[in-house]
Amino acid sequence: MSARYRFRETWSVPAPPEAIRDVLLDLESYPQWWPQVVAVASLGPDDARVLCRSTLPYTLDLVLHAVSRELPAVEVAVDGHLHGWVRWELTPVPTGTEMLLEQEVTVRGALAPLAALARPLLRWNHARMMAGGRAGLIRRLA
């Protein structure tokens, strides 16, 4: 059983791509608008340590490394409890921006042995986190 997860979803956000990119790049402000991001510490100009906790009682400890900051895509490499990448493709539309999220990660750490068996529960937990992020981003940009 694989501990690899792939996610793909689209958000419509009533703001221009440049404004969204600026918020996405400001990792240290994430705890102010994304409820499931509990702490962020800068590790340098391209790296940050991020602690995330969604609905399940487990905190992910991640290190993010900037891969791309230029529109149309914002991308980070992910290490720590998860290993892989996250990419946002930002496309202008008449109502603002369509944000395509693509994420591919492998679960590591204490959660890894259960990751394949608990797949539906972990996918649900991820969906809860992303819903919090979407709502918080829209509030932040309002």
pTM of the entire structure?
A: 0.92
Tell me what percent of the residues of the chain surpass a pLDDT of 70.
99
Q: The tokens of 80 are what? A: 């720590």
Q: What is the pLDDT of residue 2?
A: 57
Mean residue pLDDT across the chain: 95
Q: The tokens of 44 are what? A: 């340098």
- Report in angstroms the alpha-carbon separations of 54 from 77, 101, 122: 20, 18, 10
Q: What mean pLDDT comes out for the span 125-131?
A: 98
